[in-house]
Structure 1
């Protein structure tokens, strides 16, 4: 993959932020309905959802940045 010097597009930043918030909400629900509140035993329980939600958000950001974009003409 070639390294680009172009800035990250707003839509990639927005999709990453929404992915983070959706993951955070999903992990909060998961933590609320399970009997074991510890998802990763080495982290404090209060930090786990925030740290774990970064994984899909980072994946969305990398995929959005690496995806080829169609140039727009005319406008």
Structure 2
């Protein structure tokens, strides 16, 4: 079985940490709806989905490829 590339591991770890921070932030503002009330409710799920997606993209792009034997 092939080893998992470092890029995949980095992207996975960064998404986990970023999503955990995002969920903690959402929980912190849960009782303070005025902090996020400016965002249309139909847009909110898409805006929240952008955060882990961006974290995955940036961390995967920044991590080095694992060397491959030819």
Same fold (TM over 0.5): yes
Which segments of 5 or more consecutive residues in structure 1 lack a partner in the other structure? Answer: 1-5
Contact 1:16 / 1:60 at 8 angstroms: preserved in 2?
yes
Which segments of 5 or more consecutive residues in structure 2 lack a partner in the other structure? Answer: none
Question: 2: distance between equivalents of 1:17 and 1:61?
Answer: 9
State how 1:52-67 maps to structure 2 within 5 Å. Answer: 52-67=47-62
Contact 1:20 / 1:54 at 8 angstroms: preserved in 2?
no
Q: CA RMSD in A?
A: 3.4
Match of 1:13? Answer: 12
Match of 1:32? Answer: 31
Question: 1: distance between equivalents of 2:56 and 2:30?
Answer: 25
Number of residue pairs matched by the alignment: 63
